[in-house]
Amino acid sequence: MTSRNQYDMQNPLTQFPQPTYPAQVQTPPGTVHKLTPAAEHGEKSYVGLGRMKSRKALVTGADSGIGRAVAIAFAREGADVALNYLPEEEEDAAEVVALIEAEGRKAIAIPGDLQDEQFCSDLVEKAVKGLGGLDVLANIAGKQLAVEKIEDLTTEQFDATFRTNIHALFWVCKAALPHLPAGATIINTASIQAYQPSPNLLDYAPTKAAIVNFTKALAQQVAERGIRVNAVAPGPVWTPLQPAGGQPPEAIPEFGSKTPLKRAGQPVEMAPAYVLLATQESSYITGEVIGATGGMLLP
């Protein structure tokens, strides 16, 4: 299990819970409080080093999973954070707000559905107003529902997945760019699914491939403004997304076991990649994808 902080040397094979996990199903969008074993977001283990002092960050999907871990890490590194999440995720989001404020940082909670273009525009405006500016955008929210056969994949779900994962990414980036100064960063969230697609994620996997391409194209477009754009590509990560339909129920007990590290990743293990890309330490990195996949290989 995890130690008191992320700097203690440990065996990554046994650092966090390994399969077999208990069988479990949640109703979408899910909650961190029903995950067994509990996910690790860095609530007690993440130790910041002040690398994002006075930065102003917007994080989507910040109530649970990777977004929750990234919001906590950004605050521990010294950033003020605007959090986006669905209204039905208010309870989980309120905990993240409290954790950010416990660090003496500002937390701006902005619930709403990213499938709505007007909300995406309003989200950015509220974040800029609440934070007094914006210089880090972490697009993490995503929709994933496993469907075994194309015949059972509805147009409604296909559209909703693309609107959440791709359309919203475009809308939020477009709204944010006029506010981003030179030195600002955009961090998108791709996936191992962009390179090794699962047959039951026929709508989700293509959106992640598109995010890789979008990231590389936008990075070239805005480089002359001094703005960097990169992505993180997680592998299988233990979040509410998985038992809430992201995986078929029968896949949950052995989730992540086929990676070289033989377990699912934890959200807190994703956060350092986002922190790196948000800071000046990565000043010569743009248009790139950092894999955090437990050893599953990216091209």
**With contact defined as beta carbons under 8 Å apart, do 172 and 120 qualify?**
yes
The b-or-e profile of 267-279 (16+ CB within 10 A means b, else e) is: bbbbbbbbbbbbb
Q: Which amino acid is at 87?
A: P
Q: What is the spatial distance between Cα 230 and Cα 289, in angstroms, rounded to a whole number? A: 6
At residue 114, φ and ψ (nearest 5 deg) are -70, -10
Q: From CA 236, how far away is CA 195, in angstroms rounded?
A: 13
Q: Point out the catalytic residue in the list 46, 195, 204, 274.
A: 204
Q: Residue 204 belongs to what H/E stretch?
A: helix 204-222
Are the C-beta atoms of 139 and 129 separated by less than 8 Å? no
Find tokens 């997304």 and name the residue: 241
Q: Is 85 a residue of the active site? A: no
Task: List CB contacts of 189: < 8 A, sequence separation 6 or more.
Answer: 66, 138, 139, 140, 142, 211, 231, 232, 233, 234
When computed from its CA atoms, the radius of gyration of the chain, rounded to whole angstroms, is 18
CA-wise closest residue to 121 among 193, 69, 49, 170: 170
Q: Identify which of 292, 281, 295, 263 has the alpha carbon closest to the alpha carbon of residue 70.
A: 292
What would the two tokens of residue 155 be? 């147009």
Q: What angle do CA 172, 177, 181 make, to 5 degrees?
A: 140
Q: Just list the catalytic residues.
A: 204
